[in-house]
Amino acid sequence: MIPNLYSILHIDRYSSKGDIKKAYRKLALKWHPDKNQSCKAHDSFIEINEAYLILSDEEARAKYNAEYDFFFARTTQIDKEPVFEESTSFSRSNSSKQKSSYRDPDLNNWTFSAKKQAEKYASMSFSDFAKLIGEVIVETGKQGGNAVIYAFSGIIGTSAIFSLFFGINYGDIQQITISIFFLGISIIGLILTSKKYKL
């Protein structure tokens, strides 16, 4: 059985990126070991961070959703998540050394990396972590914006190339001019966002 990362963050399968960030920030600040004196705070904090690091990454979330649907869709309706109960949510807290049980090897590797990152966060002081969490959320938002601009630039560029081809074919100077303009915008968008991703 795989962990229910959505349940850990008190959200459902169809939560938006904004919902994921909001839930993570609230829970991570609540369960940080410096702030929460519960005996399960450390393990709970690590699980919250693992869940966020997987669900906030689009590719990792897509792979996780495939596994989630396979394991959970057969026993419960996907759009009706079980009610979150704080006492039972962190089910893996005593099995922190267990390997992940995903079918996808990439997801297992990402989970291992997420756990390492979460343990690093757990060793930070609360004030340092609170400062970092703001920066992490802002950076995640920037990456999402860059991804949208990158995709949009690709679509505009493809359309502009087809439009340019038809403009040349039919000798339509206005269409050629507009196509070149949009092709230029597309190239600029791709260059700017490619630098962010270091492609």
Q: What is the pLDDT of residues 32-50, one digit of tens each?
A: 998 888 999 999 999 999 9
Distance (Å) of CA 56 to CA 12, 29, 62, 81: 14, 17, 10, 19
Distance (Å) of CA 31 to CA 6, 45, 101, 139: 17, 5, 25, 22
Q: Is 26 helix (H, G, I), strand (E, B) or coil?
A: helix
Measured CA to CA, the distance from residue 16 to residue 44 in angstroms comes to 22
DSSP 115-132: HHHHHHHHTS-HHHHHHH
Distance (Å) of CA 55 to CA 37, 52, 100: 27, 5, 15
Domain boundaries, the chain: 5-123, 146-197
| pLDDT value at residue 50 | 94
Q: What is the pLDDT of residues 166-188, one digit of tens each?
A: 888 888 899 889 989 988 888 88
Q: What's the CATH superfamily of 5-123?
A: DnaJ domain (1.10.287.110)
Tokens 């709970």 -> residue: 44
**pTM to 2 decimal places:** 0.57
Q: What is the pLDDT of residues 57-116, one digit of tens each?
A: 999 999 999 999 988 876 544 444 443 444 344 544 444 444 557 888 888 888 899 999
| pLDDT value at residue 13 | 92
Of 101, 103, 93, which Cα lies nearest the Cα of 47?
Answer: 93
